[in-house]
Chains A and B, each alone.
Chain A
Amino acid sequence: MKLKSFLTVFFLMVVVVFALSACNSEKTDTDETENETEASDVNKTGMPIVEDSLDLNFFAYKPAQNEDNDWNDILVWNHYRDMTNINVNWDLVSLDALEEKRNLALGGGQLPDAFYLSQVPNSDLLRYGQQGVFIPLNDLIAEYAPNLTKLMEENPTIKEALTFPDGNIYSMPSLIEEDFLSLRLSARPWVNEAWLKELNMDIPETTGEYYEYLKAVKELDPVGGGKTIPYGGTDIQELVQWLSGSYGVMNRGPSNGANIDVDPSDESKVRFYATSDEYKKLLQYINKLYEEQLIDQSIFSIEWGQFLANASNNLYGSMIFYDPIELFGEEIGSQYNSLAALEGEDGHQQYNKISSPVWATSNLVITEENPSPEATVRWMDHFYSDEGAELYYMGVEGETFENVDGEKQYMDHILNPEGDMTFEQALAKQLTWLGSINGIIKADYFQGGESAPQSMAAAEKIEPFAADEIWPRFTFTEEENKVLQSAGQDISKYTEEMRDKFITGKADFSEWDQYVETIESMNFDEFLNVYQQAYDRYQEN
Chain B
Amino acid sequence: MAVVKSVKRKGNSKIAKSFKQNWQLYIFLLPAITYFFVFHYIPMYGIQIAFKDYYANLGMFGSPLVGFEHFERFFDSYYFWRLLKNTLILNAYNLLLFPLPIIFALSLNELRNGAFKKWSQTLTYAPHFISVVVVVGMLVAFLDPNTGLINHVVRLFGMEPIHFLTSPEWFRHIFVWSGQWQSLGWGTIIYLAALAGVNPELHEAAKVDGATRFQRIIHINIPTILPTIIILFILNIGNFMQIGFEKVLLMQNNLNSETSDIIQTFVYETGLLEGQYSFAAAIGLFESLINIVLLVTVNQIARKVSNNSLW
Residues of chain A whose beta carbon lies under 8 Å from any beta carbon of chain B: 1-3, 6, 13-14, 17, 25, 99, 103-104, 106-107, 109, 121, 123-124, 127-128, 131, 133, 227, 229, 296-298, 300-301, 303, 306, 485-486, 489-490, 493-494, 496-497, 499-501, 504, 506, 522
Contact = CB atoms under 8 A, between A and B. Distances in A.
A303 B276 CA distance: 28
B275 A103 contact: yes
A124 B166 contact: no
Nearest to A103: B56
Given A297-B161, A522-B78, A107 B57 contact: yes
Given A485-B276, A489-B270, A490-B79, A296 B146 contact: yes
A257 B286 CA distance: 30
5 contacts: A6-B19, A17-B38, A303-B140, A486-B76, A501-B254
A127 B63 CA distance: 12
Q: Determine the main DSSP class of A at the interface with B.
A: helix
Contacts of A522: 78
B275 A486 contact: no
A123 B146 contact: no
Contacts of B20: 1-3
B45 to A, nearest CB: 10
Contacts of A303: 137, 140
B26 A6 contact: yes
B78 A490 contact: yes
A494 B82 CA distance: 12
A106 B254 contact: no
Given A127-B55, A300-B254, A501-B255, A494 B140 contact: no
Interface of B: 15-16, 19-20, 23, 26, 34, 37-38, 42, 55-59, 73, 76-79, 137, 140-141, 144-147, 161, 163, 165-166, 253-255, 257-258, 270, 272-277, 279
B50 to A, nearest CB: 16
B253 A301 contact: yes
Nearest to B166: A300
A469 B16 CA distance: 80
Given A17-B38, A501-B255, A298 B144 contact: yes
B59 A297 contact: no
B38 A297 contact: no
Contacts of B145: 297-298
Contacts of B15: 3
A272 B276 CA distance: 25
A465 to B, nearest CB: 29
Given A3-B19, A490-B77, A17 B42 contact: yes
Nearest to A497: B254
Contacts of A506: 255
Given A490-B77, A493-B79, A301 B166 contact: yes
Contact of B146 (A109, A128, A297, A489): A297
Contacts of A297: 145-146, 161, 163
Given A3-B19, A13-B34, A297-B146, A486 B77 contact: yes
Contacts of B78: 490, 494, 522
Nearest to A14: B37
A337 B247 CA distance: 39
Q: Which 5 A-B pairs have CB atoms at the shortest separation, nearest pair first?
A: A107-B56, A106-B56, A500-B254, A301-B165, A490-B78
A107 B61 CA distance: 12
B165 A124 contact: no
B173 to A, nearest CB: 16
Nearest to B74: A486
Q: Among B77, B255, B257, B276, which residue has the most Cβ atoms of chain A within 10 A? A: B255
B254 A499 contact: yes
Contacts of A494: 78
Contacts of A229: 146
A106 B59 CA distance: 9
Nearest to B164: A301
Contacts of B42: 17
A499 B254 CA distance: 9
A496 B16 CA distance: 65
B19 A128 contact: no
Contact of A99 (B253, B272, B279): B272
Given A3-B19, A298-B146, A128 B137 contact: no
B16 A3 contact: yes
B61 to A, nearest CB: 10
Nearest to B277: A103
Nearest to B23: A2
A17 B253 CA distance: 44
B19 A2 contact: yes
Given A301-B253, A490-B77, A493-B79, A485 B274 contact: yes
Given A301-B140, A490-B78, A107 B165 contact: no
B56 to A, nearest CB: 3
A497 B255 CA distance: 6
Contacts of B253: 300-301, 500
Nearest to A130: B55
Contacts of B274: 121, 485, 489
A506 B272 CA distance: 31
A494 B77 CA distance: 12
A68 B141 CA distance: 32
A300 B252 CA distance: 10
Contacts of A296: 146
A104 B77 CA distance: 29
Nearest to B254: A500
Contacts of B79: 490, 493
Contacts of A123: 275
B255 A504 contact: yes
Contact of B275 (A2, A3, A124, A306): A124
A229 B146 CA distance: 10
A500 B76 CA distance: 25
Contacts of B59: 25, 107
Contact of A128 (B26, B57, B76, B255): B57
Given A300-B253, A306-B141, 6 more contacts: A14-B37, A107-B57, A298-B145, A298-B147, A301-B166, A486-B77
A474 B56 CA distance: 24
Nearest to B80: A490
Contacts of A109: 57
B71 to A, nearest CB: 13
